[in-house]
Chain A
Amino acid sequence: MESISSVINRTYTRPFWIKAEMIKLNYYTKSHHCYPDMVEKEGNRIKAQIRTTLWSSTYFRINANFLKKTGKTLGDGMNILFLAEVKFDALHGLSLNILDIDADYEIGQLAKAKNDCIAKLKGNKLFERNKSLHFPLLPKRIAIISVNTSKGYHDFINIIENNTRGYKFFYMLFPALLQGDAAVDSIINQLEIIERVKHHFDIVTIIRGGGGDVGLSCYDNYDLAAKVASFPLPVISGIGHSTNETVVEMVANYNPITPTDLAYFLQQSFDNNAVRIQEIESSIKNISNTVIQVNKEKINGITDYIKNKSAITIQKENNIINTFSNSIKNYSKSVIYENKNLIRNSVKSVHYLSKNIIFIQKQSLNGLKSRQIPLLRNKFLDEFSTLIHISEKIELLKPENLLKKGYSLSYINGRIVSDIDNIKEGDILTTKLNKGEIESKIIKTKKR
């Protein structure tokens, strides 16, 4: 044993830089010493394996530097470049005593892994997928992947809950680990849950805050980045850090970086919508007013046209009617005049003709007179002598003359007696003579 020990000590007089994969850190919480298991792989096959020692004081120094430079602490499964001295102990056998771990190598490793991850996402056509999703106009229903104790989460909620404009967001927390290697599965798990109820949400936010730049390498993990990239809803990241953008942030639909910026971004979206609605409203109002005004003017134009046209037409018709009326008047006058003349002439003719007729009749009457009068005179004289004769006879028959000759008239009760009928005995008979009357009583009547 001593011989082996002296050979090793003589051969490995100074420390060596060794590349290996630290499968397990084997950190002891009580002593703070670590006993990392180192392997060298060829593909998946382990080519070499050795137990190493990392004393607590060295561990604290390396770990602090490592965290500062890479943003992550020493952990299982890391490919590292470490400085170690070979130790042989008769009791514990061969081991490597770790003196330093190269953080720059780790940075290179991480950068390479990150580049590989990006290349793989691009190769699988995932890199732009979430970015190409239509971001809703109103990101109102928010699935939040965060943790209730996170400052970032509370900052975010505080802003969207207490906006002064009264916008109403709906949000639901899906709690997950947000840093360290375990975050990968935790976040993926919550994304899967959200996917099942995705119709209730417009966007997914990943919110982390107050954790500094430590433990962010999980966001460069291919599985997580691929899950985010292929998620059916837009994913907005508010992981909050000052170092380079992680792959998850690169593939996210939008990356405002900090939770507060994310909250203001959403609030701004609402503001934009409010302004947009306002603009649409006033546009519609203005256009409506213009259309109504244009139509009013059109109607007024038409009304004026009709008015003018009517006035002109009426004037025209009036003129035509006046012309007609004048023509009719003149024509009537001339017709009346003509007829008057005709009547006058007719009257004249009638007058003349009548005169002529009368004259002719007079003439013929005169002719007749000269021929007929002598005849008529003789006839008249004959008739006249006959009449004288008759009148003489009549004169002789007058009662006075008859009374003078001795005839008398008898009356009873004022009536002349010409018959024996109706004369009763005792009646008073008045007898009229030429120069007086006799009254006598009827004693007897004798009928012949």
Chain B
Amino acid sequence: MSKEKLKYDEAIVELELIVKEMEYGEISVDELSVKIKRSAFLIDFCKKKLKSTEEDVDSILKEME
């Protein structure tokens, strides 16, 4: 999943799924490192979403013309 296409809601859902899998499933150390890497990326992505924006009024205005 590329960073551009990823949506906040999807990131949170994926994170919660990871937590659920980790909580209820037997998890190997190998899987754990993969999951930790992915969740670190998602957490960073979500945190950034709270405090930054990529939208631009001018480009929206152009689209409305």
Asked if A291 is at the interface of the complex by the 8 Å CB criterion, the answer is: yes
Q: Is the interface of B mostly helix, strand, loop or mixed?
A: helix
Asked if A170 is at the interface of the complex by the 8 Å CB criterion, the answer is: yes
Q: Which residues of B contact A355 (CB under 8 A)?
A: none
On whether the beta carbons of B36 and A284 are closer than 8 Å, the reply is yes
Considering the chains assembled together, what is the distance between the CA atoms of A168 and B55 in angstroms? 11
On whether the beta carbons of A136 and B22 are closer than 8 Å, the reply is no
> In this complex, what residue of A is CB-closest to B22?
A287
Asked if A288 is at the interface of the complex by the 8 Å CB criterion, the answer is: yes
> In this complex, what residue of A is CB-closest to B59?
A200
Considering the chains assembled together, what is the distance between the CA atoms of A291 and B26 in angstroms? 9
Q: A137-B9, A140-B8, A291-B22 are in contact. Are A274 and B32 (CB under 8 A)?
A: no
Q: Which residues of A contact B64 (CB under 8 A)?
A: 193, 196-197
On whether the beta carbons of B43 and A280 are closer than 8 Å, the reply is yes
Asked if B1 is at the interface of the complex by the 8 Å CB criterion, the answer is: no
CB distance from B9 to the nearest CB of A (A): 5
Q: Which residues of B contact A197 (CB under 8 A)?
A: 60, 63-64
Asked if A292 is at the interface of the complex by the 8 Å CB criterion, the answer is: yes
> In this complex, what residue of B is CB-closest to A295?
B29
Asked if B2 is at the interface of the complex by the 8 Å CB criterion, the answer is: no
Considering the chains assembled together, what is the distance between the CA atoms of A168 and B51 in angstroms? 5
Q: Which residues of A contact B63 (CB under 8 A)?
A: 196-197, 200
On whether the beta carbons of B19 and A138 are closer than 8 Å, the reply is no
Kindly identify, within residues 248 to 299 of chain A, every residue whose CB is under 8 Å from any CB belonging to chain B: 270, 273-274, 276-277, 280-281, 283-284, 287-288, 291-292, 295
Interface size on A, residues (CB 8 A): 29
Q: A136-B8, A197-B63 are in contact. Are A283 and B23 (CB under 8 A)?
A: yes
CB distance from B41 to the nearest CB of A (A): 12
Asked if A24 is at the interface of the complex by the 8 Å CB criterion, the answer is: no
Asked if A7 is at the interface of the complex by the 8 Å CB criterion, the answer is: no
Q: A137-B12, A140-B8 are in contact. Are A166 and B51 (CB under 8 A)?
A: yes
On whether the beta carbons of A287 and B60 are closer than 8 Å, the reply is no
Asked if A411 is at the interface of the complex by the 8 Å CB criterion, the answer is: no
On whether the beta carbons of B53 and A141 are closer than 8 Å, the reply is yes
Q: List 27 A-B contacts (CB under 8 A).
A: A137-B12, A138-B50, A140-B49, A140-B53, A167-B50, A168-B52, A169-B53, A170-B55, A172-B60, A193-B64, A197-B64, A200-B55, A277-B15, A277-B43, A280-B12, A280-B43, A281-B43, A283-B19, A284-B39, A284-B43, A287-B19, A287-B23, A291-B27, A291-B32, A292-B29, A292-B32, A295-B29
Residues of B within 8 A of A (CB): 8-9, 12, 15-16, 18-19, 22-23, 27, 29, 32, 35-36, 39, 43, 46-47, 49-53, 55, 57, 60, 63-64
A287-B23, A291-B32 provided; 11 other pairs, C-beta below 8 A? A137-B8, A167-B51, A168-B53, A196-B63, A270-B50, A276-B12, A277-B50, A280-B12, A280-B16, A281-B43, A284-B22
Closest 7 CB pairs of A and B: A170-B53, A170-B55, A287-B22, A138-B8, A283-B19, A280-B15, A168-B53
